[in-house]
Amino acid sequence: AQSVAQPEDQVNVAEGNPLTVKCTYSVSGNPYLFWYVQYPNRGLQFLLKYITGDNLVKGSYGFEAEFNKSQTSFHLKKPSALVSDSALYFCAVRDRVRAAGNKLTFGGGTRVLVKP
Amino acid sequence: KAGVTQTPRYLIKTRGQQVTLSCSPISGHRSVSWYQQTPGQGLQFLFEYFSETQRNKGNFPGRFSGRQFSNSRSEMNVSTLELGDSALYLCASSLESGAPLGDEQFFGPGTRLTVL
């Protein structure tokens, strides 16, 4: 069974400092990996995805993520956090097998609080 | 291009009633997935519809059902509501199902269902 872990319920960071949100996964095969962000009373917004190739993936709003196959991790990073980055972040995996469709398995989410 | 729309945005029902939620995908998208979001269980996959056929189903009781119409709009139905069904129900659309490039899904704002 697929599982995704986000070990930190909350991450606090000062504005301008680097931000890291951790994600590890336990799945069979090589899944697609995603990061989504959710603002209050909103749906999820796509940030970035890893399909193949370069282990460093760049996404929206200055976010990037580093894929590490040996550690089965896909940590989200931003070099300089903004107060507006305060939100709930979700890591998700999707099976590469076409028959599995678009089912996403999500981590529990990490709340990011960026203080001015 | 308009995003994913969900109606209604808020809904209050009582135990034992049934409810129907609606989702209109982005124009041209043929896959619609549904997710339940609760504080305790997080984000859980309900089902996916593609070309009017259920592609995948999550681990939910038969009280949860759905369908997709020829214009790709989708509805989900919950019968005999229980208190534990109170949640934010999110739908997501994608061009295809199980695409080899791992197409991202675009989420709607959700329908917040409260069961009293």
Q: Would the pLDDT of A73 be above 80?
A: yes
Give pLDDT, residue A50. Answer: 93
Are A55 and A68 spatial neighbours (Cβ–Cβ below 8 Å)? yes
Q: Mark yes or no for CB contact A102/B98 under 8 Å.
A: yes
Residues A93/A104, Cβ–Cβ less than 8 Å: yes
pLDDT 10s digits, A25-46: 998 888 899 999 999 878 899 9
pLDDT band at B84 (very low <50, low <70, confident <90, very high): very high
Looking at chain B, which residue has its C-alpha nearest residue A30? B102
Contact across the interface for B31 and A104, Cβ inside 8 Å:
no
| Percent above pLDDT 90 for chain B | 88
Strands of B5-7's sheet, edge to edge? B5-7, B19-24, B74-78, B64-68
Interface test with B, best of A2, A94, A102 (most B CBs within 10 A): A102
Half-sphere exposure for A104 (CA within 13 Å, toward CB): 32
Residue range B63-82, pLDDT digits in tens: 999 999 999 999 999 999 99
pLDDT at B101 exceeding the cut of 80:
no
CA–CA separation, B17 vs A91, rounded Å?
A: 34
Q: State the pLDDT at residue A43.
A: 86
Question: What is the structure's pLDDT at B55?
Answer: 93
More confident residue, B33 or B103: B33
Task: Single out the residue of B77, B102, B79, B82 nearest to residue B22, CA to CA.
Answer: B77
**pLDDT confidence tier of residue A24, bands split at 50, 70 and 90:** very high
- Contacts with B90 from chain A: Cβ below 8 Å: 43-44
Give residue-wise pLDDT tens across range B27-52.
999 999 999 999 989 999 999 999 99
